[in-house]
Structure 1
Amino acid sequence: MLACRMQIRSRAGAVQRAWPCRLGVQRAVRCSAAQQVDAAKLAAVRECVDRFVTSNSVVALGSGEMVNLAIEELGRRLAIGSLQNVVGVPACDVAAHEAAFHGVPLLPEAREAEATVALAEADMVDVAARAALLGCAADAPQQPDVPRLLRVLKKAGSGARLVLLTSADRVVKRLGGSLPVWIGAEGWEEWAEELDDVFLGDAELWRRSASGQPENPRGGDMPYVSPDGNTIVDVRFYEGLKLFGEDDEYGKIADEISAISGVVGHGLVVGRAAAVVMARPGQQQPDVVEF
């Protein structure tokens, strides 16, 4: 059964390499003289706003440090008048708090379909395949809410351009590490069992803890449950993302996960991004790829 498998795999997982997908941390960023902001990330954020946000835009705000910086930049430009009538649609609670703090007006949830551009931070990007991993890790007690972002994008349809913010050192030839999957907390073991069958031999499954760091494969004494009643199961791949032992197309991997009835959403985004803005550590000029 899954419980037995997860206990066995926890011992195997202890000797595995550190997972590369650990950077998509949701934090409220407060910029001040006492806090140094990475210059390369700030340059990437400013380039993103320059290129993709115009006056009268409706911006869906996802999660991640770089998105928080973008919200601050939007607030600054609204305050000085270089941007006008820009409003946000929060796709996570942290973004809502950041927008309120920095003076970015917000639309109610009923108007999510009006989004014209969406910003999200990617933990890992395969530019050639136009694929990315989102929501791989988070600080306690806040956890990412990728299903909420995907819901906004679905409602907005082709009218919203998804722009991913990331760092150049997160760009890879093959996605790997940890792939988060959101499933209903009630009866989660049944659906996790199906997920386990799909990736048996290729990955371990760990339920995410409310502390942000798994204490054991079942999420420890306090497994995370979202306000919507969902839990997060991280599919930790031994190597790159695989399906039945093969380096299959990302789209097929995403379809296999989505076919499980209890799955609410997952962090593998394929073919949806309109652009990727990449901070280059140590350099002021970011890389921008538009699809």
Structure 2
Amino acid sequence: MSAITPAPEAVDLDAVQSVAGAIHGAITTVIEGKDEVVSTAVTVLLAEGHLLMEDVPGVGKTMLAKALARAIDCQVSRVQFTPDLLPSDITGVSVFNQDTRQFEFRKGAIFANVVVGDEINRASPKTQSALLESMEERQVTVDGTTYPLPRPFLVMATQNPIEMEGTYPLPEAQRDRFMARLSMGYPSAASEKAMLLSHGGANPLDRLTPVTTAEDVQRQIEAIRHLHTADALRQYVVDLMAASRAHRQLRLGASPRAGLHLLRAARAHAALSGRDHVLPEDVQTMAVPLLAHRVLPTGEASLARHSTSDLVRDLIGRTAVPSGR
């Protein structure tokens, strides 16, 4: 007699929304007029992904990363990426102890719940590669020994556009490990005026206190994994990935990892919207920030000034949407 498959646990949507709302509210006391950007950052956090923020200097990329880190009572580390930064500065190093006559491992900056990497593309590709294992497998291997990283684990990295002086392009393997890429953009006139008032006398980060704990965030991450996802919805994600690989204006389509990330982000977006199931609209909402930094346009598309965001939107428009739940 075959075993009966247990029904999936019901997701406590109130708890998920409570934690997400508290974090969102805390960040918006620091970041003016960027609700959509903040919402996407919180979604990535609860989807257990990593976030890349790319924009010109001075628009609040690092401020957003710091605000999210401070909103959670957890271990936080900050790494300023520079050309002379070494991989061991990130992962850690084994040091010989003269007293015990043994090697001791001294943890690097990666051993934290939230790692803020500032201007990641100013470090050499060799140093950037020190993040590959930790971001994908949530562990670090040094001298043949593997050390697990704390959970939840989130890398929030900022970078300036690649045309800026003194920057290195992120390797494709590195970009693919970031669940989403966000662009802050310039604030509206009203938001910039409010920022001059709120930031003029004191740094609002100094007044920001934690609104939740790492353990509570991890509980919500685990809960969101049980959100109902129809087989037709999973097929829709597969169809989007396949369409990106066949698109005539893309020379590199989305990877299987991109499909996994998109489904996880869609689940988180559905939960934050108060639904216990994922809709195609959740996938479509998260598709641009999740796929635009992973695909590469052809030379003709670049000459025609078609951005990867535009090409991803074109993919969404061309791919048939499943019907039914």
TM-score, normalised by the number of residues in structure 2: 0.26
TM-score, normalised by the number of residues in structure 1: 0.29
Whichever structure has more helix as a proportion of its residues is 2
Give the greater-gyration-radius structure (CA).
2
Whichever structure has more strand as a proportion of its residues is 1
